[in-house]
A and B are shown apart, each in its own frame.
Chain A
Amino acid sequence: MRLRTWLRLHSTLVYAFLYGPIVMLVILSFNRSGLPTAWGGFSLHWYRELLHNEALLNAALNSVLVAAGSTLVSAVFGTLLAMGLERIARSLVLDAFVFLPMIIPDIVLAIALLSFFTLIELPLSLLTITVSHIVFNIAFVAAIVRTRLSYFDNTLEEASLDLGAPPLKTFFNVTLPLILPGVLAGSLLAFTISLDEFVIAFFTAGPSQPTLPILIYSMVRFGVTPDVNALATVVLSVSALLILISQRLGGTEGFF
């Protein structure tokens, strides 16, 4: 077989591996019978069930609150950090430190934060999850804003400063509008990660305020139930949509 044909076939199978299980879940979520193996006709029944599940709606709300809070803080801190790293403190050690949360196993970060919150007697709640999510979201926002900054024309800022605009005015009128797509892309990415993050949330959540992934975990541990399929479809669609928008804004380009 020709190399080209073989590569194409191989890649097709890899894409099938990546998307097959997801597509299967989506199809099953519309299955009236609720069984994974018997098609009972198209139905939105399981989606309607979701709307009546109070615990689930609460958990979804908790997740949105945590994601919004952590995104807001990391968007500001991450953008400032990106500017600092790109313009002032170009150092490999600093880079390694800032991006550490992306590489250490999440369970290590999770137990460290749990120990720390217990030591300072901060009760576990949505606040502790938010605080924890900011730790790694800063890195994601900074990474993306930095890519944007790296092909930024510095002379524009210099011109503004030369023309007598104070630094703060220059930042808001010149710099920010130019890097805004990067900031938005990074924020969307951070929001999505936080929304779906499970391990750190699992360790830093209070007992009565689970986020959606924590609730999903407790549901799937007890086996396959048809309403999880519908929930899974909703959650996957929301994330995919946010990431595609982020990608349009140039979010995931140059990430590696």
Chain B
Amino acid sequence: MVSPILLLGPALTWLVIFLVFPLALIFVYSFLQRSPFGQIVFQPSLDNYLRLFNPTVLRVFLNSLRIAFIVTLLALLLGYPTAYFISSQPSRWKNTLLVLVILPFWTSYLIRTYAWIVLLNREGVLSRFLLGLGLIREPISFLYNDTAIVIGLLYGYLPFMVLPLYSSIERLSPELREASFDLGAPPLRTFWHITLPLTLRGIVTGAIFVFVPSLGNFFVPELLGGGQRFMIGNMINNQFLQARNWPYGSAMAFGVMAIVLALLFFQAWVTRRTEQV
């Protein structure tokens, strides 16, 4: 038997140094202050956290939560029927269809966001198309609003919804649905009372996989929102790279982490509950 230290040692050491220490460091920073020159001053207080509740910051937090929520909901509405469809295909098609869903995800998200700039800008494809149809009189930009941000985030994270949904739909035994049909339940009722509750775990996992990265993303709001619509990611980015108030930026980051942790606990709770059934 090989020693556990040899197997686990290298990776765990790496993660302690370059994950635990750095996170612990910004956690400490989040309680400190910065000097007028951007240096960190050791003056422990809760100020940075209290400042998260000032109206401007709070509004950005709430708006980010709202956008992430809309993205998640749309991803679920688009993703569930797609996952169901893939799962109902013969097995030689399933794999191909799944790869087609996940493939864009592994390619550069930045470039896929850029594609939407080409589509939605004033001189872009959509504007010209509508102009050609005579539906609009002069070029319109579809960028720089919340809708553009929602589209960009949905585009990027939709695969995250489809995959967990697919695997939980796949695990359903067809007998359950058949039994329900045989006992005379109409399809919609079978879906509502049998399929949906049994795939709840996939729904929650998918929702978290979409919600969390949507909440923290900063380049989609930057590129498609044109810096006019702010999300939490942009604020953290600003505090670190422009305003150089690292303690305040760190507190914002832990505001996000608190939301993420709450969601993960919720997921664990749902998983445990659905296992008992």
Contacts of B115 in A (CB 8 A): 21-22, 24-25, 232
Are B260 and A105 interface neighbours, CB within 8 A? Answer: yes
Contacts of B241 in A (CB 8 A): 203
CA distance A78 to B78 in the complex (A): 34
Nearest-neighbour CB distance to chain A for B222, whole angstroms, equals 8
CA distance A53 to B214 in the complex (A): 34
Interface centre among A17, A78, A103, A239 (most CB of B within 10 A): A103
Our pick among A10, A112, A213, A221 for the contact of B82 (Cβ within 8 Å) is A10
Are A115 and B2 interface neighbours, CB within 8 A? Answer: no
CA distance A223 to B118 in the complex (A): 9
A101 sits at the interface (CB 8 A) = yes
A88 sits at the interface (CB 8 A) = yes
Contacts of B1-22 to chain A: CB distance below 8 A: 1-2, 4, 6-12, 14-15, 18-19, 21-22
Contacts of B99 in A (CB 8 A): 244, 247, 252
Q: Which chain A residue has the least Cβ–Cβ distance from B218?
A: A107
Nearest-neighbour CB distance to chain B for A1, whole angstroms, equals 13
Contacts of B237 in A (CB 8 A): 107
- Size band of the interface chain A makes with B: 35 or more
Are B213 and A105 interface neighbours, CB within 8 A? Answer: yes
B119 sits at the interface (CB 8 A) = yes
Q: Which chain B residue has the least Cβ–Cβ distance from A214?
A: B110
Q: Identify the stretch in B46-54, B55-63, B173-181, B248-256 within 8 Å (CB) of chain A at 4 or more residues.
A: B248-256
Contacts of B117-155 to chain A: CB distance below 8 A: 117-119, 121, 123-125, 128, 155
CA distance A223 to B21 in the complex (A): 38
CA distance A35 to B82 in the complex (A): 34
CA distance A229 to B124 in the complex (A): 14
CA distance A247 to B97 in the complex (A): 13
Our pick among A7, A10, A22, A37 for the contact of B112 (Cβ within 8 Å) is A22
Nearest-neighbour CB distance to chain A for B201, whole angstroms, equals 11
Contacts of B164 in A (CB 8 A): 256
Are A135 and B128 interface neighbours, CB within 8 A? Answer: no
- Size band of the interface chain B makes with A: 35 or more
Our pick among A103, A116, A236 for the contact of B108 (Cβ within 8 Å) is A236
A192 sits at the interface (CB 8 A) = yes
- The proximity string for B residues 217-228 relative to A, scoring 1 for CB distances below 8 Å and 0 otherwise, is 111001100000
Contacts of A87 in B (CB 8 A): 7
Q: Which chain B residue has the least Cβ–Cβ distance from A196?
A: B108
Are B106 and A105 interface neighbours, CB within 8 A? Answer: no
Are B8 and A243 interface neighbours, CB within 8 A? Answer: no
A181 sits at the interface (CB 8 A) = no
Nearest-neighbour CB distance to chain A for B99, whole angstroms, equals 6
B23 sits at the interface (CB 8 A) = yes
Interface residues of A (CB under 8 A from B): 3-4, 6-8, 10-11, 14-15, 17-19, 21-22, 24-25, 28, 35-37, 76-78, 80-81, 83-85, 87-89, 97-98, 100-101, 103-109, 111-116, 119, 131-132, 134-135, 138, 142, 167, 171, 189, 192-193, 196, 198-199, 203, 213, 216-217, 220-221, 223-224, 228-229, 232, 235-236, 239-240, 243-244, 247, 252, 255-256
Q: Which 10 interchain pairs have the tightest Cβ spacing?
A: A105-B216, A84-B7, A112-B22, A21-B115, A116-B22, A81-B11, A84-B8, A37-B128, A196-B108, A239-B107
Interface residues of B (CB under 8 A from A): 1-2, 4, 6-12, 14-15, 18-19, 21-23, 25-26, 29, 78-79, 81-82, 84-86, 88, 99-104, 106-119, 121, 123-125, 128, 155, 158-159, 163-164, 167, 187, 205, 212-213, 215-219, 222-223, 233, 236-237, 240-241, 246, 249-250, 253, 256-257, 260, 264
